[in-house]
Amino acid sequence: MKDELRKKALSIRKNLPVEQYSSIIMHKLFSLPEYSKSKNILSYYPLKSEVNTLKCFEDKTKNWYLPRVINETLEFCPYESSNLKKGSFNIFEPCSSKIDDFSNIDMIIIPAVAADKNGYRLGYGKGFYDRFLYSLKSSPVKVILIFHDLLFETIYPEKHDIKGDIIITNKEIFRIIC
Ligand code: ADP
Ligand code: MG
């Protein structure tokens, strides 16, 4: 079921006006009270057809962190524009040292292939974010960015899938209660 949905979502995504929708989504993110309150934020470097997050790194009032894939896990490192190189999956990754202490991270901005209104997200099928979020001892606000066209009734969540707290699309903001 998930595999079918992933394929469907990826084919829909190819035809979306990514830049236009991303700009709306990023404005919604910047307007959140949770965003104003956050100082240390884990984000991601976008693939061409993912929600484009690059605008966030211009907000110099925050400390930004980016993921890199090492074996089967995600590591997060401070964002430095001059210190990025293409890593696994051809995504730009930071070269700086990873952080081990996540206790002061206020928010995590999570990419998705699809999501549902219950707060569940579908990734690329490798469970990177599920494993990372499961391993976290702290509880930053989990924000999922997704195009409205990729919001489904259900993504057929499994036991290991971890919900987001807030879902932002180009049409709406959902706050997930438990
Ligand atoms: P995605 O979230 O990328 O869409 P899935 O939710 O299908 O992918 O997860 C892919 C695989 O990742 C699962 O089949 C599972 O084996 C593994 N996985 C997810 N979370 C955990 C976890 N907390 N511990 C161990 N394995 C996990
Ligand atoms: Mg999952």
Q: What CATH code is carried by the domain that includes residue 8?
A: 3.40.50.10420
Residues in the 5 Å CB sphere of ion ligand 2: 130, 161
Across the chain, which has 178 residues, the per-10-residue mean pLDDT values are 97 97 98 98 96 97 96 94 87 92 98 97 97 97 98 98 98 93
Full-model pTM: 0.96
The whole domain housing 69 covers 2-175
- What type of residue is 12? I
| The total number of residues written for the chain in this structure | 178
User: Per the structure, how many domains does the chain have?
Assistant: 1
Question: Could you identify the atom of ligand 1 that is nearest to the CA of residue 157?
Answer: 6
Report pLDDT for 137.
95
How would you list the strands of the sheet with 141-145, edge to edge?
Answer: 73-78, 63-70, 40-42, 107-110, 141-145, 166-168, 173-175
Ligand 1 touching residue 126 (CB < 6 A)? yes
Report pLDDT for 165.
98
Ligand 1 touching residue 124 (CB < 6 A)? yes
Report pLDDT for 81.
87
Structural element, H or E, at residue 128: helix 128-135
